[in-house]
A and B are shown apart, each in its own frame.
Chain A
Amino acid sequence: MKLAKILLGSAVVLGSLAGASYAEDQRIHIILCGDDTWGGEVNAAHMAAWEASNPGFKTDIEYVPWGQCQDKATTLAASGNPPAIAYMGSRTLKQLAQNELIMSHDLTEEELASYAAPILGTVTADGKIWGLPRAFSTKALYYNKDLFEAAGLDPNSPPKTWDELYSAAAAIKEKTDADGIGLAAASFDNTMHQFMNYVYTNGGEVINADGDIVFNSPNNVETMEFYGKLASVSQPGPVAYDRGKLVPLFNEAKIGMYISGPWGRSQTGDAVNWGVAPLPVGPNGTPGTLLITDSYAVFKGSGVEEAALSLAKFMTSTDNQMEFEIAAGLTPLRPDHPEVAKLREADPTWGAFLDAIATGGPEPFVTDYVGLQDVINEAIQSVVLGEASAADAVAQAAEDLEEYK
C-alpha cells in the first residue's frame, strides 16, 4: 500500500512537471561577445519588445568573453547543440554555411537597399545572405599634430597619398624623437586587416566576386613593397606589434601616425593633440578602407530557427540597429539614416570613417579564414623582415591561398 502511494505520488509530481515544461516558453539561446556594457540595455529592451509580440518564446542572452565567444558558438554547433543565434565575425559565415551549420536570411528589396552595397558584400556568399550585420567598423589615419609641427609638416594637412604618407613618416622619424608610423606585423588577425586597408586603397583584391584568388596582381605587389618600405620609418620590430599595441605608442607620442577604427578616438582621448583623416590613397587606387562587420548568425538545429530568424531581423532593423550603434559607439551600418547626419554634426571626426564606406572592400570571404590570415601574415612578415621580395611573397601567398577559396 505504501509503495503504491509512493508510485502514485511520483507519477503526479512527474506529470505536473511535464505539464509545466510543456507550458514553458521556448528558449532562444543567444551567445553575444564581451559583456552588456556596449549596448546591453538597448539589446535587452529590444528583445523584451520582440518577446511581447512573439508570445511563447523567451530570449536567453549568454555573454562570453571576446576571445572565446565565437569558438564556443562554433564548437556547440559542431557538437550538435547549437545556440539559436550567435554574434560572429562575418568572415566566418562562408565556412559555417559551407558546413551547413547556419541558416540564410531572406531580406526584402527594401531591407537590402537600406544597407550600403559594400556592407552586404561582407555577409553574402553564393547569392545568399548568411548573417545580419550587427557591428561595423571602417578605418582612418590617426596623426599627432604636435609631432607634425615639430617635423616641419602642416598639422592641418594630413597625408592624402602614399607618397605623402611616407614623406611625413620619414620627416617625423628624422626630425623628432618619435618614429614615423606605427606598423602592425604580428602573427595576429589585425595585421592582415591593416594590410588590407592598403590593398583597398591601391585597387587590389584577394578574391574576386567569382571566387577566384587574384592576390598575385601588380597592385598587390606594389602594396606589399610599400608595406615593407614603411618598416624603415616605423617603430622598431613591427613583427612584435599588433594594432592594439600601437595605441600606447601613439598615446605616448612615440609614433606620429597609425591606422585604427573609430574606437581609437576614445582610446587616445586628450593624451596627445591628434587628428584623424581618410586613409591615404595608393598610386593605383581610390579612397577606400577595409569594411569589417560582425553579424548575427542563426544556427540550424536549435529547434527555434524561424523565431531566431525573426528576432535577428527585428534586432537589426533600421531604427533598432541605429539605436544600438549610438549606444555602443559603432560606425553606423546605414549611412543614409537621418541620425547619421546628426552624428556628423555633433562630432566631425566621424567623417573620416563614414566617407570611405562607399568604396570600401570586405574581408576576404573564404572557407578557411584562419588559413588565409596565416598565409597573408606570413607574406607580410617575410617582407617586413626583409627575408623575401614583395613579388615572391605575393606569388607564394597567392599559390597557398588556392587551398582556402
Chain B
Amino acid sequence: MAAYAVAAGQAVLVAALAPWLLGWMRAVRARLEGRAGGRFGQPWRDLRKQLRKEPITPADAGVFFVAAPPVLMATSLLIAGAAPYVSTRGPLSGVADLVVVVGLLLLGTVALALAGLDTGTAFGGMGASREMTIAALVEPTLLLAVFALSTRVGSTDLAAIVAAGAADPARVISPVGALAAAALAVAVLAESGRLPVDNPSTHLELTMVHEAMVLEYAGRDLALVEWAAAMRLSILLGLLATLFLPWGVATSLHPAALAGATALFAVKVFALGGLLAAGEVFLAKVRLFRVPELLAGSFVLGLLAVLTASVLA
C-alpha cells in the first residue's frame, strides 16, 4: 500500500514541479541573455488560465484530436509514477522496465502526431512528420543507452539499475557511465524538443516541430498538452539524474528517507534544468536534416558505451 502511495506521490510531485522547472529554465535563460524575464510561477499561472478556457475542436478533426491530450498526460503520469525517482521500492518495479518507459514516451508522441494530422492543416501534418522522423531516429540511441545501463545489473528493470548505482557509486562514475550519459543526454534533448533539435519558443513555420503539431489546441486541451510536455521534460531530466547521479534515492519506504529523496530529486532536476537552459543560450537550432548527424553521433557514443561495458565487465 505504501508503495502505491509513493508512486502516486511521485506522479503528483513531477506534475507539480514541471511548470516550476519550466519557469526556472526560462528565468535562467533570460538572466543570461540580460533580460528581466517572467516570474518563476508564470507557467503555472498560464496553465490555470488556460484550464478555465473553452477548448475548440477544428471542424475537420475527429476523436484523435480530442483524445490526444489525455493520452499524452496519462503516459506522462504513468512514467512519473513508475520510475524510481524517489524510492526504488515502488509498486511498479515488476510492471514496467526501461524499455516500457521508452515505449510509453513514444506512445505519447504518437498520440500528439496523430492529433496534428487529424486537424487537416498543413502545420499539423508538418509538425507530425518532423516529430515522427526525429522520434524514429532517436530510438536506436535510447535503446543502446538502455543496453549499456542494463549490462551492469543484468536487467532492464529501472529500480534494479538505480539501486545498484546507489549501492556502489563507483560503478556510475566509469567510462561506461560517462559514454552512456552523453548518449542519453542527446537523446533527451531530442525527445523533449529542446535546442538544438527543436526550439520550444519559436512559432516560425520553417523550424517548428512540437509547436506546429499543437497549433490548433486551445483552452483546456492546450493546458493539458503544455503541462504534459513540461512533465516529459521533468521525467527525462529526472531519468538522467536518477540513472547517473543515483545518490540519495531511497531504497526503503521510511518516511524520513523519502522526504530527503524528494528534496534531493527536486534539487537534481532543477540543477540539470539550469545547466540545460544555460547551454541553450549558446546554441542555435540546427537544420532538421542535420539532426540525423547529431543523433548519429550520440548513437556512436551509445555503441561505444555498450562495447566498453562488455569489455570492462
Q: Are A and B part of the same complex?
A: no
